[in-house]
Amino acid sequence: MAQTIILFVTGLVLICLGGDRLVDAAVAIAKKLGIPQIVVGATIVSLGTTLPEVLVSTTAAFDGSAAIAAGNAFGSIICNTALIAGLTQTIRPSKKVEPSALWWRSAFFFIVIILLDVCGFITGSFGRPVGIVLLLLFIVYACINVMRAPLEGGIEEKDEDIIKEISIPFQLMILVVCAAFLFVGANLLVDNGILIAQAVGVPERVIAVTFIALGTSLPELMTSVMSLIKGYGNVGLGNVIGANLLNMLLVIGIPSAIAGIPLEKSTVMVDIPLSFLVMAVLLVPILVRKKSSRLQGVTLLGIYGIYCVMSFL
């Protein structure tokens, strides 16, 4: 047990270090390229912080346990939005959010999740065709990000001396190293957290819907918290939105394309609709008002608390 606790703490340290530097590197790239922080958060940062979910689901598919992918993906969406975004918006609501960088990502998310829920309700699974379509949609999503980047506004700070000193290759290298730290740290935290939970008698189902989903979302949590501390709240908001999209397109898409994903009734009736609900609570007021409020954050935290209690019951 002592070794398990040490590895658990090591994972936490790696996540803290990785999240701290990943935010700095992402903001530096945004400044150098003149890209809004929310765009970098929704692309580069979210891709790095979603790696744990992608690995867990892909590994499970190759091991013949693809069913874990749906719970991991939608559990992470709920955790990312209700807990992480809820926490950051409660502490410091986002101000001056650019709708042009948000509306199409929101539409993309809601269209995909509605189609997934309808498909799951009718067929009871996500088969290989669904996985292939999701992977193609990921390519479309990536292309739209590239094409729309020049249209989504510039950066607010334009200190030319600082910008000239920023090296894109060096910052990209830092991003890769930080993503690796987050990836290894999240796995250490999840694996050893599960062992600790089992040792104190926590049921297996509760471990799956709480520890795994929360553990693989820790990179998003740390990145969002560090973004908030450093005054780059829109990076964290973009990270949550981008990570949620990637949870559907890649975390479900890859294992579905490999082996198909059988769905439990609770996933179709509870997890997917709840994912839709929490994203609506987060995004709709921001799209209308161009800023968020503490009320949204408190509401999201309340939803997550109820979700956790019901999971344990």
d(CA 81, CA 139): 24
d(CA 277, CA 42): 20
Q: What angle do CA 100, 94, 87 make, to 5 degrees?
A: 125
Residue type, 289: R
Among 244, 227, 245, 246, residue whose Cα is nearest residue 236 = 227
- Kindly list the distances between the CA atom of residue 152 and the CA atoms of 36, 144, 170, in Å, as whole numbers in the listed order: 7, 12, 25
Number of Cβ within 10 Å of residue 201's Cβ equals 6
Residue 165 pLDDT exceeds 60? yes
Query: How far, rounded to the nearest angstrom, does the alpha carbon of residue 77 sit from its chain's CA centroid?
Result: 6
Residue 17 pLDDT exceeds 80? no
Predicted pLDDT of residue 123 = 93
Q: 260: alpha, beta or left, given left = phi > 0 and alpha = psi -120 to 50?
A: left
Burial of 74 (0-12, 13-18, 19+ CB in 10 A): buried
In the three-class reduction of DSSP (H, G, I as helix; E, B as strand; rest coil), residue 290 is classed as coil
- Average pLDDT value over all residues in the chain: 81
Please state the rounded mean pLDDT for residues 2-13.
Answer: 84
Residue 190 pLDDT exceeds 70? no
Predicted pLDDT of residue 303 = 96
Q: What percent of the chain has pLDDT over 90?
A: 25
Q: Which of 164-178, 236-250, 267-281 has the highest mean pLDDT?
A: 267-281
Question: What are the phi and psi torsion angles at 205 (to 5°)?
Answer: -65, -40
Mean pLDDT lowest among 154-158, 193-197, 244-248: 154-158
Predicted pLDDT of residue 2 = 86
Q: Which of 68-82, 198-212, 221-235, 248-262 has the highest mean pLDDT?
A: 248-262
d(CA 170, CA 240): 25
In sign, the C-alpha dihedral spanning 211, 212, 214, 215 is: positive
Q: How many CA atoms lie within 13 A of 5 on its CB side?
A: 3
Using the 8-state DSSP alphabet, how is residue 261 labeled? Answer: E
Residue burial 237-256, b: 16+ Cβ < 10 Å; e: rest: bbbbbbbbbbbbbbbbbbbb
Q: What is the pTM of this model?
A: 0.77
Predicted pLDDT of residue 295 = 94
Name the one residue in this structure whose structure tokens are 């997550």. 304
Predicted pLDDT of residue 206 = 60
Predicted pLDDT of residue 155 = 45
Q: How confident is the model at residue 210 (pLDDT cuts 50, 70, 90)?
A: low
Q: Which of 20-29, 161-170, 291-300 has the highest mean pLDDT?
A: 291-300
Predicted pLDDT of residue 67 = 64
Using the 8-state DSSP alphabet, how is residue 262 labeled? Answer: E
> Using one digit for the tens of pLDDT, what is the confidence trace for 33-68?
777 767 777 777 777 777 777 777 776 677 666 666
d(CA 194, CA 210): 10
Please state the rounded mean pLDDT for residues 11-18.
Answer: 76
In the three-class reduction of DSSP (H, G, I as helix; E, B as strand; rest coil), residue 192 is classed as helix
Burial of 161 (0-12, 13-18, 19+ CB in 10 A): exposed
Question: What are the phi and psi torsion angles at 206 (to 5°)?
Answer: -65, -40
Question: What are the phi and psi torsion angles at 67 (to 5°)?
Answer: -60, -25
Token pair listed for 150: 């020049």
